[in-house]
Structures are given as C-alpha cells and as structure tokens.
Structure 1
Amino acid sequence: MTSSNSTQLLPLQILWDCLRQQSLLRSPFFPVFFSLTIYLSCCLPYVCLDILCSQLTLIQRFKIQPQSQVSWLYRHFHREHHFYRATFSLTTENSSIWEMLSLSFFTTLNPALLDCHPLTEMLFYITNIYLSVEAHSGYEFPWSPHRLVPFGLYGGAQHHDLHHLKFKVNYAPYFTHWDRLFGTLQGKCTQRRARKLSLKGS
C-alpha cells in the first residue's frame, strides 16, 4: 500500500467513524435494538403478505403450505421452534432459551474469530437475519435468494418448510451440502406428497 492510498480513507471507514461518535452505538442496549429492528423489518413484508394472502389469488399461488420419536437434543433445544408446522416469518426466532443462546454465541463468534470490521459484522447480522426470516416466510417467489445459488446448493423457504413438516429431513437452514452428505436431503416431490398427506389429515 502506498502512502497516498493509506491517507485516503475508505468510504465505509468514514461512515463508521461518523457512526461511532453517536451515543446510540455506545449504549448497552444498541445490539438488542439493532437486532430487533432488523428482525421486525425483515418480517414486516411477509406479515403483510400473510394478511393479504386470504384475499389475493396472486399471492396464494406462492404460499408453500396453504393450510397450515426424537433425540434429547431436539426435545430440549429445538422442539419449541417446531411448535408451528406451517412456517411464517414471525416463527423464525421462536426457539428455546438454550437454542437462542447457542445460536447467538456461534453467530457472534464467527465475525469475532475473523476479526471483521464492525460494519462488516453488522452486514453479516442483517444478512443472517434476513435469510432466516426468508427461510421461514412460507413463500416461494421467483426472486427468492435460493434461486441465485446454482445446483441447489442453497435450500430456501421450500427446503426449510419440508424440515418443519417432517422434522428428520433438511436440517441445514441455508446450504444443502451437509444434508446431501448425510442423506437427509429431500426435494420438492417429497414435499408435495407430505403436503397432500397433511391436507388429507386435516
């Protein structure tokens, strides 16, 4: 890096220097406020779609579920998250205290281990929250993020919805490589059969 490059500040650094002076960022409540604001902002469009879904056929065609024996780890950590078998955006953070603590720990550990810039951490959290909300939204749109990743490597809402229907498949919340490796990946045709069975049972 030349001296002329080192004297020029990057735009993100300038933004961070301005933000760092704000008293809100120094508040101990900022992380909670930030996370809650991002989470509710990501949920709002899907909550509006849920409200409109019963009246607009255009939205109904994108809805994944029109109606809506396990290990100790599931019983003590993850069962509460599966209280709703039909996913919707507000169920994203519906989890036990132990699951929430472990997820929060590993979510904050990754950027800390990589020694990321604070704005990069914030971008990581925003992306993580958005992808979680989208995976639980219950909608399969043509512009959904999983369509951007080739070869079915990213699961998306339909992938995670099947996990909520059957529990023992599609464990990975985003990427599908672990499910492929361990034989727990199931696709759309399995989901259609499971949905038909659940509709017959109701």
Structure 2
Amino acid sequence: VFGDVRLDNIRPSCAQVLLSPYLAASCAFLTHLALCAPFLVLDALGGVCQRVRSWRIAAGSGPPPSLWKWYECFWRVLFKYATAVLPAAAVFQLLRSPSLPELAPSCWRLSVEVVACFLLFDTFFFIWHYCMHRVPWLYRAVHQMHHQHHVPFALAAQDASSAELLSLLLLALGSAWMLGCHPLSEALFHFLNSWLAVEDHCGYNLPWALHRLLPCMGGAPFHQTHHKKQRNNFAPYFTHWDHLFGTYILHFMGHANLDLH
C-alpha cells in the first residue's frame, strides 16, 4: 500500500535532514546502541537470574560480560565511528547524490528489495569473511581485533578495526546501490541488518530468536561457534553458502552438531 504515499510534499527542512550525508552513520550507531540495550539488561540480570543464565548458549562460556566490559567496548566503537565510519559514510553519500523519489515503494517492492539486499550482502560478506580468515596478513591487519571476543556479546558486533567497519559499510551500502533500492527499502535493510548483527553476537539462544523460526538462518549459536573455532560458519546470517562450501558446523562447548532449530 505504501506506493500511494507521496514523498514529494515533505517539508524542505525534513528533506534536508533525510538527505544529510551524516544521517546514515549517525542512525547506524544510535540504532546499534538501542538494539543492544535489551541484551545489556539480560547480561546484568544474568548474575542473579537462573532463567536468564539458562538462555546462555553454553554454560561453559562463562558468566555474562561485566558492565565494565560493555563500557570499554562502547568507547572503542564510538571512537571508530567518529574517526572513520562517519566521514567515510558522508563521502559515500555525497558521491551518490541521493534524492527522495516522488512515491514510497509498494509493500511488495519493499519486501522484495529488502530480501534481495540481505541475500546479496550475505554473499559478499561470506566471500570477504572467508578471505580474511584464509589470508594471514589480511586477518592480522583487518579482522583479528574482532576476534578478541572468544565469547561475543551484543555490543561487540561493531567492535572491530576501522578497516573492517569500513569494509562492511561498503558491502551494505553497495548491496543496496547495486540493486537500485528505494531509500525506504534501504533504510529498512540497514535497520534489520543492525538487529541481526546484534542478535548474532548476543551470546543467548533465546526462545523467540529468529533462527528458531527460520531454519535457513544460523543465529547466535551458529556465529558463536565461528568465534570459538574460527574455521567454520563464515556467512553472517544464512547458512546456504557454508553448506555449499563445506564450512558449516554447529558445534560448541563439546556438543557436536547440536541442532537447536
């Protein structure tokens, strides 16, 4: 139904904000913090609530990260966004010279474009992630910092080197650009992309997690196995590329091929 909604009558001041080159990176950082907030609460409750501890992926993974660890991670991520991601995103947006279309996309177009973005991004990420692990100097220079977290937590989804953050930003923006997505479709893709990245790193196998509903997705158990083993599960969200290339495994803390779907 969205296709009948006109966008060309937005106030000039609002349109200027929507087309700001700094909006994408600023919203990405703030969205990441907002999506991490529920898991900060879970980690804080984990020390006193047995039910929350039972949702941890494996008892041997240790206690939830401390508030101090969250605090340190926050400042690292903020520094890299301020010094690298924000300027790079602004330059990329200025080069694209985006404009607001006359009409909003239809619900069908919105859905198709978001799914297509995820499939293309997932493919690019798998290739890039595999290369970072297979090329030693690339791993040391770009990806090693992210693997300081053997047991990841939500905020650590963005705790990586500036080079890696910039590369993932380019993959996400490039996926939407290559598909010619409507700005609203692209915005929804970036929002859901942030949520799935946070869920992948949260350290919890929650009863309502998306991978329990969609067997094609790996979820937090899939990605935590990657942080433990570092030789498998290279795709960010879906599992088909790892199945095709023989790099799929769901094995953590001594429980081989445990099926949590």
Q: Using structure 2 for the length normalisation, give the TM-score.
A: 0.64
The residue that corresponds to 1:199 in the other structure is none
In structure 2, the residue corresponding to 1:179 is in which secondary structure?
A: helix
Q: CA deviation at 1:72?
A: 2.4
Label 1:20 to 1:39 Cα distance change in 2 as closer, same or farther (>3 A). farther
Alignment CA distance shift 1:41-1:15 (3 Å): farther
Segments of 5+ residues of structure 1 without an aligned counterpart are: 1-7, 196-202
Larger Rg over CA atoms: 1
Is it true that 1:51 corresponds to 2:116 in the alignment? no
C-alpha distance in structure 1 between counterparts of 2:162 and 2:53, whole Å: 34
* Whole-angstrom distance in 2 between the partners of 1:53 and 1:64: 13
Contact 1:168 1:184 in 2 (8 A): yes
1:88 aligns with 2:153: yes
**Structure 2 unaligned runs (5+)?**
64-132, 257-261
- 2:10 maps to 18
Alignment pair present for 1:191 and 2:252 = yes
Pick from 102, 108, 114: which aligns with 2:179?
114
C-alpha distance 17-155 of structure 1, shift in aligned 2 (>3 A): farther
- How do 1:1-202 and structure 2 match up within 5 A? 10=3, 13-14=5-6, 17-18=9-10, 21-22=13-14, 23-65=16-58, 66-67=61-62, 71-150=136-215, 153-187=216-250, 190-193=251-254
| Distance in 1, Cα, partners of 2:184 & 2:11 | 10
Shift of the alpha carbon at 1:10?
3.0
Say if 1:192 and 1:9 are closer, same or farther in 2 by CA, change over 3 A: closer
CA distance in 2, matches of 1:194, 1:149: 22
User: How many pairs were matched up?
Assistant: 183
Deviation at 1:53, TM superposition (A): 0.7
Corresponding letter in the other structure for 1:106:
L
TM-score (norm 1): 0.82
Distance 1:135 1:97, change over 3 A: same
Specify which structure has the bigger relative contact order, considering alpha-carbon pairs within 8 angstroms and separated by 6 or more residues: 2
Deviations 1:137-173 (A, max 9, x none): 01101110112213xx210000000101111111111
Relative distance call for 1:40 and 1:17 in structure 2 (3 A) is: farther
Query: Could you say which residue in structure 2 is the equivalent of 1:200?
Result: none
Q: 1:14 deviation in Å?
A: 3.5
The answer to whether the Cα contact below 8 Å between 1:89 and 1:134 also exists between their aligned partners in 2 is yes
Distance in 2 between the 1:19 and 1:125 partners? 24
Q: CA deviation at 1:73?
A: 2.4
Amino acid at match of 1:186: I
* Alpha-carbon offset, residue 129 of structure 1: 0.5
Identity level (%): 36
1:5 corresponds to which residue?
none
| Aligned mates of 2:227, 2:158 — CA distance in 1 | 14
Change (3 A) 1:63 1:113: same
